[in-house]
Structure 1
Amino acid sequence: MPQTDLPPPPPLAEPNLAAVIRRHAEQRPDAPALVEVGEQGRRSMTWAEFDQAVTESASGLVELGLVAGQRVLIQAKPTLDAVATWFGALRAGIVAVPVNPGKTPNELRRVALHCGARVLVGDPETDLPGVRAVPLDELRSHAGSAPLASPQDPEAVGAIIYTSGTSGNPKGAMLSHRALIAHCVGAYRRGIARRDATVLCCLPLFHVFGLNAVLGAGVFVGATTVFVEGIPENLGEILRAEQITHLPLIPSVLYRLTLNEDLTDACRSLQTVTSGAAPLPAALAAHWLRLTGIPVHQGYGLTEAAPGVSNTIGTDWLGSNHVGRALPGVEIRIGDGSEPTEPGEVMIRGDNLFSGYWPDGTDGVSEDGWFATGDVGYLMGEDLFLVDRLREVIIVSGFNVYPAEIEDVLEQHPDVAAAAVVGQADENTGERVVAFVTGDAVQAAAVLTFASARLARYKLPSEILVIKAMPRSASGKIRKNILRDMLDRTDEDDF
């Protein structure tokens, strides 16, 4: 079992996550820091090369006219150039705004206008009014010779991360340098991030899971981080060739790996597997364990927590809704704390919390430091169990119905690949339960019969709709707003 609750690491010379790169470069300049595996082959950087690339990227941003506090959009592909740009922005005190390279021009314009960005590092063909576009691989060529000064205020905003917007319009969460570092410290102390690890990052770098839980924490401890874009067909081969020891991923990627014919050999070097960003079905976790003998740990977090809240590393597996114990430095309570074993809103407090939403810090932490996550859960001792999103609770005839419970039952049916449950207005009961399922051979009637033997009548879906694929965000979360739109738009359509 991995070590847990290690003592705090030595303090950084300055309150900036990029400062740790210089420390690694001084202590072991020739050790491998980053590896990129893609269609163009394999590239790598030592810590000394990485530190130089970060300095040049920071200087390039300054030479483009940016000053500390101004915003830069980074089309965050999982490449060494994008990583150097991200840390270069942190080092120069410029606020990094990672964006999805797949965003449409209209979506990019909306983000650029909202955050007031002046420069975009990424696709040079992107046309944004008032925003200068520079290719990722050319930023360092703009570097000058003037010395750089990193920000010394830990509360200065380091990044604005736009949430996925599954519950409405996307909002920009302001993460300070303090928050970014605090998550990395907590991950180190829990044993999630280790210096001797080789970590595979197959997660998007515009999402806080890949950006700080994987990349940030790995760089903080001095691990080697290997990047791949998307989910390549040869992912198993990459695991084997790069001798990956730590694999953080989302459930859909875990499922794809189970289909690898050479899975046992591909996982030979694996030591730790962690799932996050979306609920991990218990059946999938058990299937993976049977195939590999390696348990899957589950983490819980959110953009506003940079992102870590809890993890099952160092605890026993207690079911699919068990998300472990709070990371060191994080406090958890349920509601007002008076009834922790009863389902209520999960509240969190810690240095990893954001500074509110851009631009004026609205809807941030309370005066006493607590943040309402919008998730429903309960505590059994120190162990946190999630029930559902607060906003997704369905009220049927006065009874609270939690979609996650129903989805868990539906996904136990052998023909169901994925399930999502939403509420729909009903004149008789207030709301009714509607389920969407996917699967090659799934039949709605058979699934309903299966569920009726396992769910109370008021929890039973009044309708089960079979669809080809679940709409998902880049981080793998099912976009229930799209499913609700399907119901609102064409209730009688054959999906």
Structure 2
Amino acid sequence: MPAELPPLSSADDLRAIEQVPLAERDLALTTYELLSRAAQRWHDEPCSLWIPDAAAFEDNVAVTYGELHARVRRIAHGLHRLGVGREDAVTLAAPNCSDLLAATLAAQAVGIAAPVNAALDVRHLTHIVRLTGSRVLVTAGPELDEALWKRLLDSAGALGIEVLVALSPDGGEKGTAAALEARPGLRTVWLDDLVEGAPPAPAGLPSAPPAPDDLAAFFHTGGTTGMPKVAAHTHRNQAVMAWSVALAGGAGTGQSIVAGLPLFHVNALLVTALAPMVTGARSIWPSPLGYRDPNLYAAFWRLVEHYRPRAMSAVPTVYAYLSAMPVDADISSLELPVVGAAPLPDSVRRAFVEATGLELHEGYGLTEGTCATSATLPGDVRPGSVGQRLPYQEVVAADVDRTSGRVRALSAGEVGELLISGPTVFAGYLRRDGDRRSVDDSGVVVDGWLRTGDLGFVRNERIHLRGRQKDLIIRGGHNIDPAVIEDVLLDHPAVTAAGAVGRPDRTSGEIPVVFVTLTTSEVTVEELSDWAARHIGEPAARPKSITVLDAIPLTEIGKPFKPALREAAAAQHFRHELAEHGIDDVRVRADHEGGRLVVFLSGDAAVRAAAALKGYDVAFRTDAEEADQ
């Protein structure tokens, strides 16, 4: 049986926990063992509640720990019969549903789970699937998401997929599904049919259970600069992370947490699916689209009143939307709204407190650290901090020498790049050399320290963020934190979102510009520029242009998508400069390749346009150059 959790409510508790070596704690060290222990202890208790339709949130499909355990074993047998072994990846791309979670855990039990964002275009999906080497893809059947099924059915050949496994929606009648369309060289099968031949209650897995240091999952990192990277997690990474998150006080035995993030994101799997298994809590999954379902927000507070969750986990944009929803229900059960994945604007924090009376509890983490590195403990909100580091993870602010790679830890309170070490540091990124797949952490892990790319400082075990190295605007060698600009704009009563980026400049390398969304069209850009000039004390950081958008581009999990803003700023600027040169018949498109901005010029005057734009630290390509490649 799992040991009782030690208390964690202060830095003193953290240090007391670490007095006991992690190896001496009776922890499950694989995700299958974690589920098996939970099923033994809370066999008939609900593990998860799946709501098929947010508009009818009272209706749900409940899955007990025992039922999930049995379902995972049966799916594991089915995957094994498809040839999935310990080193084989299974790609999963579907809206949230009970069988997607079960299939993910089953893939980890016999092989490696590789969840992907189904909204990615075929080019990005092909890159990810080829990296993982997956031959089996689990996705939504026609009844769950017909458009996605058709798209992946048509793309399976390009992806290198040999078997397409279809999931049914929760709440539907089993065994009534129509025959699936197939393609030459592709087998299509319903998940229910795949597990039909498995024993009703198999005694165990069809192969040896995973070991702690076996690979458990491949998670792509989003593809914000060029093609996505794919991070590899071990079972130890994920099991220790689940235990650590449970320590931070989410939901205890018999309590609930709202789980609205997509299961291709580490937060959804680790914080809202695996961590509850440590304590016997249950997760509430509000519709297959989760927080991306526009119908959810109008019903959200009544859903809270109905299910009485203690906690929820979401990104800042979700809390911004909820702040605008009148609280029309009793939400007194909700004590721990957790926010992460992106910096929390003060305006969103204030608006949520005003609307609900609840303080948002910030956390910090990244896919390469398995999920979370710090958490704000219940009742310990301190604006400006993303919480206390989690047990057995060391965190330092450091200066990393660009040439030698040497790490020099900085004094408490001194800002530097945040580095993490401990049992949740990932195994590395996937690499592929022909038919050979490998995992490589070189460059990102230095002497056991994971380089996060985030800037901040650590004081008394608390982490404070100060921006991201890659987001820094470097104007003539002067580093400008975009948050300096964004925070000032967000303080304007008409601004609801802001994203500051560097725009290419001949003399300074780049200069700051900002994109905003507004509550009213009556506010002018001139007024906003004057506001920024008056409130940004650093002259170099004052934005040279402000552009109003209908919406700031976001990733699927709600992170501001800065590359899209950089591309828009560059393309807009170069169009204006070409117009000044009398060149207006050239199409200008900006993109990122390998993290570097590339500008594509097409049309009859493309070569003349490239000559007119010489002097920028930007790669320009014309139609002729593209044709030669």
TM range (shorter): over 0.9
Q: 1-side partners of 2:447 and 2:193: how far apart?
A: 46
Pick the structure with greater CA Rg: 2
Q: Distance in 2 between matches of 1:113 and 1:397?
A: 41
2:253 & 2:553 partners in 1: Cα distance?
37
Mapped partners of 1:214, 1:283: distance in 2: 26
Give the match for residue 293 of structure 1.
357
* Displacement of 1:68: 1.3
Tell me the equivalent position of 1:213.
271
Asked if residue 52 in structure 1 is aligned to residue 52 in structure 2, the reply is no
What is the CA deviation profile of residues 114-134 of structure 1, one whole-angstrom value per residue up to 9, with x for unaligned ones?
A: 211010011454231241101
> Secondary structure in 2 aligned to 1:308?
coil
Shift in alpha-carbon separation, 1:342–1:204, aligned structure 2, 3 A: same
Counterpart pick for 1:331 among 394, 398, 415: 394
- Of residues 20, 23, 36, the one that matches 2:37 is 23
Query: Which residue of 379, 386, 389 corresponds with 2:458?
Result: 379
Distance 1:195 1:452 in 2: 52
Shift of 1:192: 3.4
Residue 573 of structure 2 aligns to a residue in which SS? coil
CA contact (8 A) 2:320 2:351 kept: no
* 1:314 Cα deviation from its structure 2 partner: 5.2
Q: Are the equivalent residues in 2 in contact too, given 1:200–1:246 (CA < 8 A)?
A: yes
- The alpha-carbon distance between structure 1 residues 2 and 193, as it changes in their structure 2 partners (threshold 3 A), is farther
Deviations 1:72-102 (A, max 9, x none): 111142110101111111222x110001232
Determine the C-alpha separation between the residues in 1 that align with 2:463 and 2:38.
Answer: 35
Aligned counterparts of 2:255 and 2:418: Cα–Cα separation in 1: 32
What secondary structure does 1:261 align onto? coil
Partner Cα separation in structure 1 for residue 8 and residue 429 of structure 2:
35
Letter in 2 for 1:464: I
C-alpha contact (below 8 Å) 1:16/1:90 kept by paired residues: no
Report the AA paired with residue 358 of structure 1: L
Matched, 1:134 2:213: no
> 2:107 aligns to what?
89
* Residue 373 of structure 1: how far off its partner (Å): 0.3
Equivalent residue, structure 1, for 2:509: 430
Give, as a single letter, the amino acid of the residue that structure 1 aligns with 2:230. Answer: G
The counterpart of 1:355, out of the listed 401, 422, 427, is: 427
What residue is the counterpart of 2:300 in the other structure?
Answer: 235
Deviations 1:9-58 (A, max 9, x none): 96356x31122222222222211111101228421111111111111111
**Letter paired with 2:362:** Q
Task: Determine the structure 2 residue equivalent to 1:108.
Answer: 125
Q: Counterpart in 1 of 2:418?
A: 346
**Residue 214 of structure 1 aligns to which amino acid in structure 2?**
T
CA distance in 2, matches of 1:209, 1:371: 19
Task: Tell me: CA distance 1:399–1:367, structure 2 relative to 1, closer, same or farther (3 Å).
Answer: closer
What displacement does 1:292 show? 2.1
CA displacement, residues 357-377 of structure 1 (integer Å, 9 cap, x when unaligned): 013322356463101100111
8 Å contact from structure 1 (residues 387, 405) kept in 2: no
Instruction: Please say which of residues 246-255 and 228-237 is displaced more in the overlay.
Output: 228-237
Find the aligned partners of 1:109 and 1:168 in 2 and give their Cα distance.
14
1:466 is matched with 548
Match of 1:449 in 2: 530
- Of stretches 328-337 and 190-199 in structure 1, the one that deviates more from structure 2 is 190-199
Distance (whole Å) between structure 1 residues aligned to residue 208 and residue 362 of structure 2: 35
Between the aligned partners of 1:430 and 1:262, the Cα distance in structure 2 is: 48
Gap runs ≥5 in structure 2: 1-6, 141-148, 169-189, 399-407, 432-437, 577-629
1:122 equivalent to 2:153? Answer no
The total of aligned residue pairs comes to 490
Confirm or deny: 8 A CA contact 2:49 2:61 kept in the other structure. Answer: yes
CA contact (8 A) 1:16 1:150 kept: no
Are 2:191 and 1:191 aligned?
no
Note the alpha carbon deviations across 1:180-213, whole angstroms, 9 max, x for none.
1121121122223533420111111101111212
The alignment-based identity, stated in percent, is 30
**What's the counterpart of residue 305 of structure 1?**
369
Q: Secondary structure at the match of 1:77?
A: coil
C-alpha separation between the residues in 2 aligned to 1:386 and 1:3?
21
Q: Which residue of 2 aligns with 1:393?
A: 472
1:404-415 equivalences under 5 Å are 404-415=483-494
Report the secondary structure of 1:361's partner residue: strand
TM-score, structure 1 normalization: 0.93
Q: CA deviation at 1:453?
A: 1.8
Distance 2:240 2:445 in 1: 19
The CA distance in 2 between the partners of 1:376 and 1:71, in whole Å, is 34
Q: 2:317 aligns with which of 248, 252, 262?
A: 252
Letter in 2 for 1:183: M
